[in-house]
């Protein structure tokens, strides 16, 4: 019976046709970059999950909560330093990738601007920490955590993404994060080693950043040089709308953890942070696809808006469907996942994980209509409005829910509601704009590159 069925379905013919298609797909630069970026994401998020699982057994929930609180606080200054350049600079380089001189100007202007923002952020962080008694009591956590901000400045991911050269940095980033995990497993042995755990992670970011920056001249052809202040100021001016939106988007989750740290014990923060880190790791699996396709679609949209929209219509659900599976697994297997990774001390993380389980799927869907459409087509201001509305909604919901239920459940519920809102708002904008001309895309004049 089985041979007849196999013959009917012509399995060998199917496989023979699949081979050439797979080879053609792997030759496409966007597909290769997506695979390379998955290597970067694995090193950046899976290894920290392994580390967190180990630390959750070595350190108490209180110490895990302190680490999670300090990490969220430092994220404020990381967001200031990033300034949205991972989106704006990536797009500018993707459009100008055939003009080496213009790329060199973009590179140096962005690096100088980020350096200024980073130094200012560090000074501000020290002032706030030393002026706040609750932060001052654990002050060494914050400069150690700031090492990740320095590493992020050194690592010009936006340059490699725009040039579609991610294969050059994936292996080195993977190795540096692997070594960080190994050192954490070997060196963090007691409750008093929690500061060492934070320092190891920051050191890994420094190593990865330094290596990738040193490679940039050879791989991307850039040259380090000082620029007139007006060019740096221009980079800051262009990035401002996206920075405001990215700050509202990124700092919403970070602020929620900081607020949680002020209104609940550190152990409660640990229960929330452990569940949210698992969800964040799953969400970040969306990032390699976005990072690989965003410059490709931006370039496509600048040449033919209709072709870009047709691409989105064809592949929107295909790109999101794997994350529906991931979300279902997290929802169904939440007890098993929490017990295996963190142990029975973290039972309280199970309902938090289930509330946020569908966040990766919702993110994958919304990226099609936010990053691939709104940002790639030049609708930065409209996208900014959606993000700012999400931030406002976050605090409205917090005022309503934080005191109505257990705080960690309230924060998880707020996150899921915001994911739904973001998807619906971006999809509505996409449908409204593309239906105006019976399927033809409308592209704002500001998004069309000029010579």
Task: Return the closest-CA partner of residue 261 out of 136, 89, 135.
Answer: 135
Quote the pLDDT of residue 36.
59
Instruction: Report which DSSP code applies to 10.
Output: T
* pLDDT (tens digit per residue) in 197-218: 899 988 888 888 888 888 888 8
> Tokens standing for 39?
């290597």
CB of 338 closer than 8 Å to CB of 49 = no
> Tokens standing for 401?
């829910």
Rounded CA-CA distance 356/409 in Å is 10
- Per run of 10 residues, the mean pLDDT along the chain (length 451 residues) is 39 45 51 58 70 88 88 88 83 81 88 94 94 88 93 88 72 76 88 89 86 85 84 82 71 81 87 90 77 71 74 76 92 94 91 95 86 76 83 90 91 94 89 63 43 29
**Stated pTM of the model:** 0.69
Tracing tokens 């490699």 back to the chain, one arrives at 160
Rounded CA-CA distance 100/111 in Å is 16
Which string of DSSP letters, residue by residue, matches 277-306?
HHHHHHHTTHHHHHHHHHHHHHHHHHH-HH
Which string of DSSP letters, residue by residue, matches 120-133?
HHHHHHHHHHHH-H
Contact residues for 391 (Cβ-Cβ < 8 A; gap 6+): 248, 249, 252
Quote the pLDDT of residue 347.
92
Rounded CA-CA distance 268/76 in Å is 21
HEC assignment per residue over 209-238: HHHHHHHHHHHHCCCCCCCCHHHHHHHHHH
The dihedral sign for the CA sequence 42, 319, 164, 426: negative
CB of 56 closer than 8 Å to CB of 342 = yes
Rounded CA-CA distance 134/73 in Å is 13
Task: Return the closest-CA partner of residue 102 out of 216, 218, 221, 229.
Answer: 221
Contact residues for 114 (Cβ-Cβ < 8 A; gap 6+): 81, 82, 83, 85, 153
- Note the maximum CA span of the chain: 77
* pLDDT (tens digit per residue) in 303-317: 777 777 777 777 777
């Amino acid at each position: 019976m089985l041979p007849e069925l196999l013959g009917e379905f012509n399995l060998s013919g199917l496989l023979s046709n699949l081979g050439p298609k797979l080879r053609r797909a792997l030759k496409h630069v966007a597909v290769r970059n997506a695979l390379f970026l998955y290597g970067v994401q694995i090193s950046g998020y899976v290894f920290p999950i392994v580390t967190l699982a180990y630390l959750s057994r070595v350190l108490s929930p209180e110490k895990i909560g302190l680490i999670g609180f300090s990490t969220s606080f430092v994220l404020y200054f990381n967001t200031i330093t990033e300034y949205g350049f991972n989106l704006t600079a990536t797009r500018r380089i993707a459009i100008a990738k055939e003009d080496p001189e213009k790329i060199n100007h973009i590179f140096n202007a962005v690096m100088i601007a980020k350096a200024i923002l980073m130094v200012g952020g560090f000074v501000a962080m020290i002032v706030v920490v030393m002026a706040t008694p609750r932060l001052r009591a654990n002050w060494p956590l914050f400069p150690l955590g700031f090492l990740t901000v320095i590493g992020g400045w050194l690592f010009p991911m936006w340059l490699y993404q725009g040039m579609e050269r991610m294969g050059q940095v994936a292996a080195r980033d993977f190795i540096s994060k692997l070594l960080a995990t190994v050192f954490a497993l070997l060196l963090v042995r007691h409750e008093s080693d929690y500061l060492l755990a934070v320092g190891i992670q920051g050191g890994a970011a420094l190593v990865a950043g330094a290596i990738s920056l040193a490679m940039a001249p050879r791989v991307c052809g850039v040259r380090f040089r000082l620029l007139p202040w007006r060019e740096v100021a221009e980079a800051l001016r262009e990035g401002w709308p996206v920075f405001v939106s990215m700050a509202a988007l990124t700092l919403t989750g970070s602020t929620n953890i900081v607020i949680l740290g002020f209104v609940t014990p550190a152990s409660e923060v640990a229960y929330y942070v452990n569940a949210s880190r698992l969800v964040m790791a799953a969400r970040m699996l969306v990032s390699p696809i976005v990072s690989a396709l965003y410059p490709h679609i931006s370039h496509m949209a600048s040449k033919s808006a209709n072709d870009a929209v047709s691409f989105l219509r064809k592949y929107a659900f295909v790109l999101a469907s794997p994350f529906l599976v991931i979300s279902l697994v997290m929802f169904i297997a939440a007890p098993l996942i929490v017990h295996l990774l963190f142990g029975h001390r973290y039972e309280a993380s199970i309902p938090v994980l289930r509330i946020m389980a569908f966040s990766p799927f919702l993110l994958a869907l919304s990226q099609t209509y936010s990053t691939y459409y709104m940002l790639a087509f030049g609708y930065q201001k409209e996208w900014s409005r959606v993000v700012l509305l999400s931030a406002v909604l976050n605090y409205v919901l917090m005022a309503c829910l934080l005191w109505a239920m257990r705080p960690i459940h309230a924060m998880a519920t707020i996150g899921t509601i915001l994911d739904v809102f973001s998807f619906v708002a971006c999809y509505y904008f996409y449908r409204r704009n593309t239906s105006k001309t019976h399927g033809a895309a409308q592209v704002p004049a500001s998004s069309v590159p000029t010579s």
